[in-house]
Amino acid sequence: MNDAINIREAIPSDAEKVLKHLHRIASETGFMTMGAEGPSKSIEAENKEIEAILESDVTVLLVALDKEEIVGIAEIHGNDKPKLNHIGDISISIAKEYWGLRLGTTMMEKLVEWAKSPSSNLKRLELTVQARNERARRLYEKMGFELEAIMPRGVKDNGVYLDVCLMSMMVGEI
């Protein structure tokens, strides 16, 4: 991976850059669940969300920066509901020009490390990925995620229904 890229937890002042990254990647590939419309959040709303994430023990948001530009985001989004607060939903987005630099692997390693830390209550990590996104599926399998289900017509992209894979990894002691 490029040594100039710094990975750290997001802070509220990153809100505008986070939204800029999400708008950028939304139109770079058909692999995202959002389309070219991008996220429908204000900078203020994103700022508040990042503040809440910093206080959470079930959610973490990492950003990868090349100088001052966010080129990757990785998140474990947990749930505060008692029956579900052991599950973290993972999402990763890397700007297309940074594919192939092991950035996704590095960010996933950091997410799994966070989930396995003593301060985490997570016992299950899960994610969805389009079946056609072979590069991402290989990464997740390499990291220890297992295929649980294929959801036919799990997403619709440009009028075409595509299959989506549900993958999971168990973490921590029961």
pLDDT of residue 118: 84
- Could you tell me the fold of the domain covering 5-125? Aminopeptidase (3.40.630)
Distance between CA atoms of residues 174 and 172, nearest Å: 7
Distance between CA atoms of residues 90 and 30, nearest Å: 18
What residues form DSSP beta bridges with 170? 124
Phi and psi (nearest 5°) for 52?
-65, -40
Phi and psi (nearest 5°) for 115?
-65, -30
- DSSP-derived 3-state class of residue 25: helix
How far, in whole angstroms, is CA 27 from its chain's centroid? 17
pLDDT of residue 44: 87
Confidence of residue 57 (pLDDT cuts 50, 70, 90): confident
Distance between CA atoms of residues 72 and 129, nearest Å: 17
Where do the structural domains in the chain lie, given as residue ranges? Answer: 5-125
The predicted-structure confidence for 85-99, as pLDDT tens digits, reads as follows 999 999 999 998 998
For residue 147, give the amino acid letter: L
The predicted-structure confidence for 70-87, as pLDDT tens digits, reads as follows 999 999 999 889 999 999
Residue with tokens 């939304």: 26
